[in-house]
Amino acid sequence: MKSVAIISKPSKTELAGILPELLDWFRSRGYQLYLDQETAQYTDGEEIVPREQIGAKHPNFALVLGGDGTLLSAARAVAHEGVPILAVNLGSLGFLTEVPLSEMYLTLEAVDSGLCPGEERSVLDCSLFRGGACLAHLFALNDAVVNKSAISRLIDFDLLIDGAFVFNYKADGVIIATPTGSTAYSLAAGGPILMPSVESFVVTPVCPHSLTHRPLVVTDKAQIELRVETGDEEDAFLSIDGQVGLPVKRGDRLICARASHTVKLLRMRRTFFEALRAKLKWGQR
């Protein structure tokens, strides 16, 4: 039997009007439905699965109803199981959730017929070490960020690539971004835009003390290490995709490399540059 997981943005009132027809569409085509708890509140009688367990159901694909934040959360839940994701934009900017609601059923017909192309996005595999212990092992589709939590203090970082010292940062924070994440916080901090197919990561300082510290693009085959050299547990915070985080202490090490899995996005006809023109309001030819 075909199956689909539906993952929704919390507190989206328009879901009450969207979901009944959508669920009927899937039922009429013989799909087994797995709903996260946010989706299930608008319907009855379907199997409810906690979001973090949906990937273990191995649906044919996951349908995300929301914005980029919902997609990032869904990716952490299902990508490691190889589940493709189709994202319908119910948010605002939506670099990743590019399918508008008006084209949802047209796109679903293409997915159901096997005619919707997929695109693989690289993922950061991030480990936070304190002493010899690994405190956290997390995956990021967009970025891993170490930021100060005190308003008035800079953080001291050492950056190492494949074990080789690069330089020391004094900055408000440092962003390690994938090509997907290059259009998120890294872009706002002055980082470059990378095409999704570029096999690289970008290390972008946030408000560095030295004007010579610029964003650094490195191969995605490299191991990137940040060492926090100053501050105590109240002075820094690690954030994964802006959604999962924990405090960072002096001497902690964040090690990032390319994950063994990717995020598979189901996309239609738009190119990356069409999305940039639309979302960043670039001039048309």
**Token pair 């493709």 is at which residue?**
84
Helices (H), 79-164: 104-112
Question: Is 80 exceeded by the pLDDT of residue 53?
Answer: yes
Catalytic residue among 68, 156, 235, 241: 68
Fold that domain 124-258 belongs to in CATH: Tumour Suppressor Smad4 (2.60.200)
The amino acid occupying position 55 is G
**Token pair 């589940």 is at which residue?**
83
Tokens of 181: 């994440």
Residue-level pLDDT at 70? 92
Question: Is 60 exceeded by the pLDDT of residue 123?
Answer: yes
List 2's β-bridge partners, or say none.
31
Question: Is 60 exceeded by the pLDDT of residue 209?
Answer: yes
Residue-level pLDDT at 212? 79
The conformation of residue 1, written as its DSSP 8-state character, comes to -
- Sorting pLDDT into bands at 50, 70 and 90, what band is 284? low
- Average pLDDT over the chain reads 90
CATH 3.40.50.10330 segments of the chain: 2-121+262-280
Let me know: does 210 contact 158? Beta carbons within 8 Å: no
**Average pLDDT score over residue span 147-159:** 82
Please report which helix (H) or strand (E) contains residue 276, including its range: helix 272-280
- Sorting pLDDT into bands at 50, 70 and 90, what band is 269? low
DSSP per residue, 49-118 = --GGGGGGG--SEEEEEE-HHHHHHHHHHHGGGT--EEEEE-SSS-SS--EEGGGHHHHHHHHHTT-S-E
Question: Is 80 exceeded by the pLDDT of residue 270?
Answer: no
pTM of the full structure:
0.91
Distance CA 217, CA 177 (A): 10
Q: Helices 104-112 and 15-28 sit at what angle, rounded to 10 degrees?
A: 20
Residue-level pLDDT at 93? 65
* Cα–Cα nearest to 60, from 94, 23, 88, 86: 86
Which strand ranges, in their side-by-side order, compose the sheet holding 143-148? 216-219, 200-206, 173-177, 143-148, 236-240, 244-248
* Cα–Cα nearest to 95, from 176, 9, 180, 11: 180
Let me know: does 191 contact 202? Beta carbons within 8 Å: yes
Question: Is 80 exceeded by the pLDDT of residue 94?
Answer: no
Tokens of 271: 């190119």
* CATH number of this structure's domain 2-121+262-280, picked from the four choices 3.40.50.970, 3.40.50.300, 3.40.190.10, 3.40.50.10330: 3.40.50.10330
Among this protein's residues, is 68 annotated catalytic?
A: yes
Question: Is 70 exceeded by the pLDDT of residue 233?
Answer: no
Distance CA 203, CA 161 (A): 11
Let me know: does 238 contact 248? Beta carbons within 8 Å: yes
CATH 2.60.200.30 segments of the chain: 124-258
